A and B are shown apart, each in its own frame.
Chain A
Amino acid sequence: MRFWLQRVAMAVLLLLSVSALTFGAMNILGDPLFNILGPVAGDVNNPDSVKLIEKAKSEFDLDEPLVVRYGLWLSDFVRGDMGVQFSSDGQPPVSDLIKERLPRTATLVLLAQLMAIAIAIPWALATASRAGRLSDRISTMNTFFLVAMPNFALAIILKFVLSIKLGWMPLTYVANDPLSSRLWQMVLPALTIALPVAAVFQRLLRTDLITTLQQDFILMARAKGLSRRRVLFRHALRPSLFSFITVVGLNTGALIGGSIVVETIFRIPGIGSSLVESVLREDFPVVLAIVMIVAVAFVLINLLVDILYSIIDPRVRR
């Protein structure tokens, strides 16, 4: 029980520090009043401008000290209210924007994760059982290429080959299409994110499987007369899945990072493309909300992996 409490407390402390640092940095390094009003913020001699400045100050509590503002923001945030956008008329509220866009990104990341796992496991099994042969060497070279390929470049190559030249895949995402075609439009973006991650998974799982395949219990299972395939799937794969789960958790960051670039290229209106837009507009409430959502997701997934791991392998609960 203490182990779990420690982990959860650590996660909460981590998120508090992250939010405090982000909030502080944005308010100290940025100029909120200028971001809200634009050039009007500096125009203190014009009574109309002063009125606008006063209104903005009271609306965003800009006269309060930083700590108070952080407290207000935090209590709103945990209750699901992420504030008002700086830009234009402040509509829609940040929460509504996120509510509309988050499901798309979540679907994309989940789809990519499933694809990466679905590609990596058979790939690792096939290469580990033929370690050192030509096919294995070629596949190792391919993982090198995939890992070295920046995801925006991979996205462009896949889009060029599969969508433009072959015409097999849709070019972009259309938010008004029915669900099934929207899912189909997400396949290529998800594949773009999944391929390099699958290469990382495959590398690790292959090395792990090769070690496992040299163990005596594999020889024993073979001697018992079990088929090679059964030994590979039932006996060799299971122990290797331990470290695999950890790596899957750790690579969620790469998936989220990949989704930002891919959403921009395939024009998926998710939180990734929203982050880029709001950074260019210097719309800090949106940036802050998205950064926090990503951090929460990232920390939760790693917490989940830790807990899952301690259930599978109780030795880690020292």
Chain B
Amino acid sequence: MSGTDNLVTTDDASDVAVADEAVKRRLGWGFWLCIGWIVLMIILAFLAPYLSIKDPNANFIDMSGKGRPPYGPSMDHWFGTDKDARDIFSRTLYGARISLTVGFVAIAFGLLVGGALGILAGYFRGWFDRIISFLFVILLSFPSLVLAIMLTSLIERSLLTISLVLGVLSIAPVGRLARASTLQYADREFVTAARQIGATNRRIILRELLPNVVIPMGALALLGMAVAIVAEGGLAFLGLSVEKGITWGSLIQLGSEGSTTLQKSPWIAFFPIFVLFFTVLALNFAGDRLRTYLDVKESAL
């Protein structure tokens, strides 16, 4: 391997550090490109029923001699159709509705519950902190997909419950970050000062600590949404997500089931995969940039 012959010396490394510094100052065009994609997906998902796209549940059997479905991508069906001759393009847009909603509700729930528990634990310490921290450890002692599967086995699988299950998964990571940031600020002068002039606990938490803790948590929100969307996709792929309705995961599952579907009509699985992939990539990239921009330490996660 010739690569090892180009060992970096101290000079090279400091160049890298300078380059990183420059990136840190601005969010960059990549960030805005990603945000643009996410906003586009949200608009398309929101407007899907009002756009003049094909009915996602209609069967477009072709009588002009193309034979049996599935049909490949064409001017008529941009992403092709599945084996029931349903339009993949409109199904992918409709799938965005559930996938994005679940992602958003899940991380909102996680931020609310995890954030509140983390701040309270970090502020009051003592036995309350111990119980909450142990709760976080319990939640983290399962691989997240296993926990999600276990929880979905106990409930009716509707849009709300699936969102909440995935929200539960984000409680521990968010809560740990909130607790760590609270601990960081709880001993600072401005908190002591507020207490000295007679501020109540409630006022200190809401007015002094929350504004500081919200920033790193916000940076985590985009990453958390990506995690929730992937998790929902995984559940849907396994047949354990929202029972009625179209999601990206179930579309991909439909395109890969059986031994020949993937071989003969790869477009059924691949178009939803691309859309899912770009959405998750955009959320990850934008979240990562935002985290660097706001200078949230990786170790705190």
Contacts of A307 in B (CB 8 A): none
A125 and B141 contact, Cβ closer than 8 Å, known pairs A144-B284, A219-B10: no
| CB 8 Å contact bits of A145-159 with B (1 = contact, 0 = none) | 101111111001101
A132 to B23 Cα, complex, angstroms: 13
A132 and B149 contact, Cβ closer than 8 Å, known pairs A147-B284, A164-B262: no
Complex: chain B residue closest to A132, CB-CB: B16
Stretch at the interface among B35-43, B82-90, B120-128, B272-280: B272-280
| CB 8 Å contact bits of A251-293 with B (1 = contact, 0 = none) | 0111011001100110000000001100110101001000100
Contacts of A231 in B (CB 8 A): 7
Is B12's CB under 8 angstroms from A131's CB? yes
Q: B295 CB to closest chain A CB, in angstroms?
A: 16
Is B8's CB under 8 angstroms from A128's CB? yes
Is B259's CB under 8 angstroms from A148's CB? no
A126 to B273 Cα, complex, angstroms: 31
Q: A68 CB to closest chain B CB, in angstroms?
A: 22
- A291 contacts which of B150, B237, B285 (Cβ < 8 Å)? B150
Find residues 162-219 in chain A having any chain B CB closer than 8 Å to their own CB: 164, 171-172, 210, 213-214, 219
Contacts of A222 in B (CB 8 A): 7, 9
Complex: chain B residue closest to A203, CB-CB: B298
Contacts of A129 in B (CB 8 A): 3-4, 6-8
Complex: chain B residue closest to A279, CB-CB: B153
Complex: chain B residue closest to A214, CB-CB: B13
Stretch at the interface among B175-183, B185-193, B226-234: B226-234
A128 to B16 Cα, complex, angstroms: 11
Find residues 10-52 in chain B having any chain A CB closer than 8 Å to their own CB: 10, 12-16, 19
A133 to B2 Cα, complex, angstroms: 15
Q: A271 CB to closest chain B CB, in angstroms?
A: 10
Contacts of A29 in B (CB 8 A): 154-155
The reply to whether the CB of A160 lies closer than 8 angstroms to some CB of chain B is: yes
Find residues 1-32 in chain A having any chain B CB closer than 8 Å to their own CB: 14, 17-18, 21-22, 25-26, 29-30
Complex: chain A residue closest to B229, CB-CB: A150
Find residues 198-218 in chain B having any chain A CB closer than 8 Å to their own CB: none
Contacts of B15 in A (CB 8 A): 132
A25 to B155 Cα, complex, angstroms: 11
Is A294's CB under 8 angstroms from B281's CB? no
Find residues 150-173 in chain B having any chain A CB closer than 8 Å to their own CB: 150, 152-155
The reply to whether the CB of A229 lies closer than 8 angstroms to some CB of chain B is: yes
Q: A252 CB to closest chain B CB, in angstroms?
A: 8
Q: Which of A25, A135, A148, A294 has the most CB of B within 10 A?
A: A148
Number of A-B pairs, beta carbon distance below 8 Å:
165
Main secondary structure of the interface of B (DSSP, over half): helix
The reply to whether the CB of A117 lies closer than 8 angstroms to some CB of chain B is: no
| CB 8 Å contact bits of B127-159 with A (1 = contact, 0 = none) | 000000010011001111110011011110000
Contacts of A284 in B (CB 8 A): 153
Is A26's CB under 8 angstroms from B154's CB? yes
Is B155's CB under 8 angstroms from A294's CB? no
- A213 contacts which of B13, B145, B269 (Cβ < 8 Å)? B13
A256 to B148 Cα, complex, angstroms: 13
The reply to whether the CB of A51 lies closer than 8 angstroms to some CB of chain B is: no
The reply to whether the CB of B101 lies closer than 8 angstroms to some CB of chain A is: no
Is B280's CB under 8 angstroms from A148's CB? yes
Find residues 233-285 in chain B having any chain A CB closer than 8 Å to their own CB: 233-234, 237-240, 249, 252-253, 255-256, 259, 262-263, 266, 269-270, 273, 276-277, 280-281, 284-285
Complex: chain A residue closest to B137, CB-CB: A14
A228 to B6 Cα, complex, angstroms: 8
Complex: chain A residue closest to B272, CB-CB: A153
Contacts of A232 in B (CB 8 A): 4, 7
Complex: chain A residue closest to B151, CB-CB: A25
Find residues 21-70 in chain A having any chain B CB closer than 8 Å to their own CB: 21-22, 25-26, 29-30
Contacts of B7 in A (CB 8 A): 129, 213, 222, 228, 231-232
Contacts of B4 in A (CB 8 A): 125-126, 129, 228-229, 232
Contacts of B76 in A (CB 8 A): none
Is A291's CB under 8 angstroms from B142's CB? yes
Is A152's CB under 8 angstroms from B150's CB? no
Q: A72 CB to closest chain B CB, in angstroms?
A: 21
Q: A216 CB to closest chain B CB, in angstroms?
A: 9
A153 and B153 contact, Cβ closer than 8 Å, known pairs A14-B137, A145-B281, A222-B7: no
Complex: chain B residue closest to A133, CB-CB: B6
The reply to whether the CB of A238 lies closer than 8 angstroms to some CB of chain B is: no
Complex: chain B residue closest to A261, CB-CB: B234
The reply to whether the CB of A98 lies closer than 8 angstroms to some CB of chain B is: no
Contacts of A125 in B (CB 8 A): 4
Known contacts A129-B3, A129-B7; 16 further A-B pairs (Cβ under 8 A): A14-B137, A26-B154, A30-B153, A128-B8, A131-B12, A144-B284, A144-B285, A153-B233, A159-B262, A210-B13, A253-B142, A257-B146, A261-B237, A264-B237, A275-B146, A276-B240
Kindly list the 9 A-B residue pairs having the minimum CB-CB distance in the complex, ordered from nearest: A257-B145, A253-B143, A148-B281, A228-B7, A279-B153, A132-B16, A257-B143, A29-B154, A256-B143
- What are 20 residue pairs bridging A and B, where the CB atoms are less than 8 Å apart in the complex? A14-B134, A148-B226, A148-B285, A149-B277, A152-B237, A156-B262, A210-B8, A213-B7, A214-B14, A222-B9, A228-B5, A228-B7, A256-B145, A257-B145, A257-B234, A260-B149, A279-B149, A280-B239, A287-B150, A298-B142
